[in-house]
Structure 1
Amino acid sequence: MALTFLQIELPGEANSAAMPAATASMAEPTQETLSIMDLMLSGGIGGQIIMLLMVLLSIAMVYIFVNRMGAIKRANKIDPQFMKDIKDHVASGNVQSAINLCERSDSPVARMILKGLTRIGKPLQDISASIENQGKLEIQRLERNLPYLATIAGGAPMLGLLGTVIGMILAFQEMANAGGGVQIDMLAEGIYVAMTTTAAGLVVGIFAYFGYNFLVTRVESVIYKMETSSTEFLDLLDEPV
């Protein structure tokens, strides 16, 4: 008698066999990440031009800040003994020694006092006017290129916004050309690429803004020392003999 074995496939076993294939087909989509350089170059020709301008503005900003910082730091180095020595020389009638001391000191205060020393013998108002004129020249030297830094602080965000507007226009133009095949990822890609220029403009503008205000504060500190020293010198000349 032959025995016949029936092979019965259970529903659970069929589902178990189908699970790997289903799992493979339901694999999570990979997320594409872009580097900063990719974002900078993905905005089309208009966005690339804006980003190039941002790079140039960044270089100019760093150059102006470092250059002015060095000049202001040198101008702020004033020997505390300088004015005391000037007073001693003038009080003793040794004006030439005071002039020599000013010529050896490379600072705005020394140049202002030197201008006043060369006018000794003239009316006090003339001496004061010559010192004031020299002070204006020194302030102009200290503030050189600072307006450019202020322009970068205000102009960089505006350029970034312009790049964003251009990018948004191009993104909507591409969606219009796509007709009914517009997808949400197409819109999202166009938006985040366009926003890159605004972010870059804000970064450059913020650094330029804080750098400008920091330098202005340092310049005002030097100006205060210049005014104090010139007042001391004029008071010395105005003292009764």
Structure 2
Amino acid sequence: MLLIAVYMFIERLVTLKQALEEDKSFMNRIKDHIYDGKIEAAQKLCRETNNPISRMVEKGISRLGRPMNDVLVAIENVGNLEIANLEKGLVIMASISGGAPMLGFLGTVTGMVTTFYNMSLNSSGNVRLIDLSEGMYQAMVTTVGGLIVGILAYFAYNYLVSRVDSVVRRLEARTMEFLDMLNEPA
């Protein structure tokens, strides 16, 4: 489970980093193309930029000439798909953060059951320390392992959720910037 959590964390981190990368002049160039009537050039710039913001803006550009609400709905639909893509795999990370400690505790219980079973097999009634320590060792190792994986996955999950929120805020800001640009006189 630890390997899955590490893989998911790195993969999502790379995806979110790419989503946050932004050409500072992108919106200004889009604005210039639209004001100059170069709609195809604006769409080409969006395709070449290829990030969540550019895909949303491209959808908005494709709806130019329609009512502003249609433009907004089209952008929001693309935004929802982009957000779903960014959140992909976070459920697995959340499941690992909750499931790993439970599996560790399951190991604790099985270790203790094994210990008591071994003690019951001893017909003399004398319990050796080694009989107790083996089962308790198994119990503690699985608990520690489950907690370590769970805690790391928990913090990784929350960090990734905060990064997704950052991307969402940026997408919302650029959407408003694009819509404001369409409402400004040229």
Is 1:118 equivalent to 2:66 in the alignment? no
CA distance in 2, matches of 1:193, 1:122: 67
Q: What is the CA distance between 1:177 and its match in structure 2? A: 1.2
Q: What is the CA distance between 1:93 and its match in structure 2? A: 2.1
Partner of 1:226: 171
Partner of 1:200: 145
Given residue 94 of structure 1, which amino acid in structure 2 is its aligned partner?
K
Q: What is the CA distance between 1:194 and its match in structure 2? A: 1.5
Q: Describe the superposition over 1:124-144 as per-residue Cα deviations: whole angstroms up to 9, x where unpaired.
A: 000000000000000011111
CA contact (8 A) 2:107 2:138 kept: no
State the TM-score, normalizing by the size of structure 2. 0.95
State the TM-score, normalizing by the size of structure 1. 0.74
Q: What is the CA distance between 1:192 and its match in structure 2? A: 2.0
Could you list the runs of 4 or more consecutive aligned residues of structure 1 that deviate by over 6 angstroms after TM superposition?
none
Partner of 1:93: 37
Which residue among 53, 71, 82 is the counterpart of 1:138? 82
SS at match of 2:122: helix
CA distance in 2, matches of 1:223, 1:85: 22
Q: What is the CA distance between 1:185 and its match in structure 2? A: 3.9
Bigger drift between 83-92 and 72-81 goes to: 83-92
Q: Describe the superposition over 1:171-223 as per-residue Cα deviations: whole angstroms up to 9, x where unpaired.
A: 01111111312123422332122211111100110111111111111111111
Which residue among 164, 180, 186 is the counterpart of 1:235? 180
CA distance in 2, matches of 1:240, 1:87: 11
SS at match of 1:109: helix
Which runs of 5 or more residues in structure 1 are unaligned?
A: 1-56
Partner of 1:11: none
CA distance in 2, matches of 1:193, 1:124: 64
Give the aligned length. 185
Bigger Rg over Cα: 1
RMSD over aligned Cα, in angstroms? 1.2
CA distance in 2, matches of 1:85, 1:143: 29
Q: Describe the superposition over 1:92-113 as per-residue Cα deviations: whole angstroms up to 9, x where unpaired.
A: 2222211111010010000000
What percent identity do the matched residue pairs reach?
47
Given residue 197 of structure 1, which amino acid in structure 2 is its aligned partner?
T
CA distance in 2, matches of 1:237, 1:167: 67
Q: What is the CA distance between 1:240 and its match in structure 2? A: 4.0
Which runs of 5 or more residues in structure 2 are unaligned?
A: none
Q: Describe the superposition over 1:58-84 as per-residue Cα deviations: whole angstroms up to 9, x where unpaired.
A: 121111111111111111111111111
Given residue 78 of structure 2, which amino acid in structure 1 is its aligned partner?
Q
